[in-house]
Amino acid sequence: MSQVFNCVIQGTVVGRPESGHMASGRAYVKFGLVHRTGYFDRKNSKWVTTAPMTFEVTCWDEQLMLRASTFKPGNEVFVEVKKFVPYLDRTNDEPVMNIYPANVLLITGSTPATGTSRGQRSGDLVVSPHGEKIAADAWPEAVTDLTMVHHR
C-alpha cells in the first residue's frame, strides 16, 4: 500500500504530557495539541481567527515517548501524522481526534508557558523499578536513586 499524502500539523502543547501503560503492558506518552488557524480578510484588511482544532497525540515509539515527555505547556511542535484515530471521549461523549505520530519535533525558539524552569540534566535516561525508560529532566522528582541514572 502506497502513501497518498503526508500530513504535518503545527500546534501548541496543552497541559503536561501523561505517560501510562495499556492493559497489555505497552507503554505510551500522550499530550494535548491545539492548532489555531485563520485567514486574511482582504475586504476588511485584517486577520480573522477561526475556532481552534484540538487533538490528542499518543506516542508509542520509545524515542518519540522520550521526546514528547519533555514537552512543556505552550511549546510549539510539528507533528507528522502516521494515523488519525477518532473516538468518543468516555467522560463527556465528545468526539476526539487522536493522532499516532510518525515524528514529533519541538520548534526551537518556542516559549513554554511561564513558570518555574527546571535545570536540564543533559539527556539522562532513567529506568524505573518497573522497567519504564523516562527522561530524567522530565520528572526529576521520580529520580531518587542516582544509581539508576544512565547517560545516553
pLDDT digits 0-9 by tens, 63-77: 999 999 999 998 999
- How confident is the model at residue 148, as a pLDDT? 52
Please give the Cα distance from 120 to 110 (Å, whole number). Answer: 17
- How confident is the model at residue 34, as a pLDDT? 92
pLDDT at 140 over 70: no
Contacts of 133 (CB under 8 A, 6+ apart): 62, 66, 125, 126, 127
Q: Which H/E stretch holds residue 67? A: helix 62-68
Instruction: For the chain, list the domains and their CATH numbers.
Output: 1-108 (2.40.50.140), 119-152 (no CATH)
Q: Which amino acid is at 64?
A: L
Q: Which of 33, 94, 90 is nearest to 58 (CA)?
A: 33
Give the pLDDT band of residue 89 (cuts 50, 70, 90). confident
Other Cβ atoms closer than 10 A to 40? 9
pTM as predicted: 0.64
Q: Across residues 91-114, what is the average pLDDT?
A: 81
